[in-house]
Amino acid sequence: MKVLRTTFLLTALTLVLLVVGDAFGGRNGMTIALMFAVVGNAIAYFFSDKIALWSSGAKPVSREQLPRLYQVVERRAAKASLPMPKLFVIPEAAPNAFATDRNPSHASVAVTEGLMQLMNDDELEGVIAHELSHVRNYDILISSVAATIAGAITHLAYMGRFAAIFGYGSSRDNDREGGGLTAILMLILAPIAAMLLQLGISRQREYAADESGAKMVGQPYGLISALQKLGVYNQRIPSNMPQTTSALCIVKPFSGGSLLASLFSTHPPLEDRIAALRDMTIVRPG
């Protein structure tokens, strides 16, 4: 069901991109929109992981420096039939973690110093399983594609509004009664719709990573406890994580709990994620 929801949201996001391109310049506009998406996705595919690690200040860590982390990641990666990812530590007291990759063979997992200090072994295992689930499910690639398409929509809408001010745009729209006004309204509303669809995709992938991470471990309780700790400490300890990278984290630093904040957040409310984990039924092999 979560895969179907993500597919639906990605399809809707692509349709918004094509509609914006059509409003901006007819068939040529649609071609430009697709070119934006292709180029943006190529850049995201090859460089998003490096940008995320660099912007967060993550440093590579060896087995000798952090044997506890290596043991947990090796055990969980083997269980999930994944290659061993590269491991990084972020010099930050606020507990958090994220995974980034373009495919499982080029994956990296980064944890903060605060996470390693605050989590017990069961909680750390739950966090790592969640992050490896993102890798196995290609969630980082899906989120990068969604963000790139949303960015292309916003850019095209900006160009479309600029063209409308100076009297340029699709002659077909201008020939239809009310077509110009409709196009302008759509160019204003499309970026909002694109952002909401992108955020919806991100939230669905977080729920899916929670579920598959709990199944990877065989029980949800370590991850539940980790999420509870993360929620408490990320409200107390300032984070220097940049906005673009915080969207990758297991919990978003300083995330609010209001309905409006949830609607415009890359992450579902922690209480909803914990409730979903509590409701899970994990069948152990006999």
For the residues 53-74, what does the mean pLDDT come to?
94
pLDDT digits (tens, 9 = 90+) for 220-237: 999 999 999 999 998 888
pLDDT above 70 as % of the chain: 64
In a domain, 53, yes or no: yes
Distant-in-sequence, close-in-space partners of 5: CB < 8 Å, separation ≥ 6? 200, 204
Give domain status of residue 21, yes or no: yes
Enclosing domain of residue 125: 2-278
Looking at the chain, the whole-number percentage of residues with pLDDT higher than 90 is: 39
Within-domain flag for 284: no
Asked if residue 95 has pLDDT above 50, the reply is yes
pLDDT band (50, 70, 90) for residue 164:
low
Q: How far apart are CA 230 and CA 210, in angstroms?
A: 14
CA-closest candidate to residue 232, choices 255, 260, 207:
255
Residue 95 contacts residue 112 (beta carbons within 8 Å):
yes
Residue of higher predicted confidence among 137 and 47: 137
Q: Per-residue pLDDT averaged across 131-148, rounded?
A: 80
Residue 18 lies inside a defined structural domain of this protein: yes
- Nearest Cα residue to 28 out of 207, 160, 192: 160
In a domain, 31, yes or no: yes
**Does any domain span residue 286?**
no
Phi, psi of 110 (to 5 degrees): -120, 135
152: closest CA among 73, 43, 231? 43
How confident is residue 158, by pLDDT bands cut at 50, 70 and 90?
A: low
- Average pLDDT, stretch 179-201? 69
User: Is residue 131 among the annotated active site residues?
Assistant: yes
Q: In the numeric block, which tokens belong to residue 72? A: 């947990």
Measure the CA angle with vertex 233, ends 120 and 69; round to 5°.
35
Predicted structure pTM score: 0.76
- Would residue 283 count as lying in a domain? no
Residue 20 has pLDDT above 50, yes or no: yes
Mean pLDDT of 115-130: 97
Decide which of 21 and 135 is more confident: 135
pLDDT band at 286 (very low <50, low <70, confident <90, very high): very low
Q: Are 87 and 70 in contact (CB under 8 A)?
A: yes
The pLDDT score that the predictor gives to residue 254 is 61
When divided into structural domains, the chain yields a total of 1
Among candidate residues 92, 131, 206, 211, the one labeled active-site is 131
Edge-to-edge strands, sheet with 59-60? 59-60, 86-90, 108-112, 97-100
Whether residue 261 lies inside any domain: the answer is yes
Average pLDDT, the chain: 78
pLDDT value for 77: 95
Decide: 115 and 125 in contact? Cβ < 8 Å: no
Which among 49-63, 94-108, 207-221, 259-273 has the top mean pLDDT?
A: 207-221
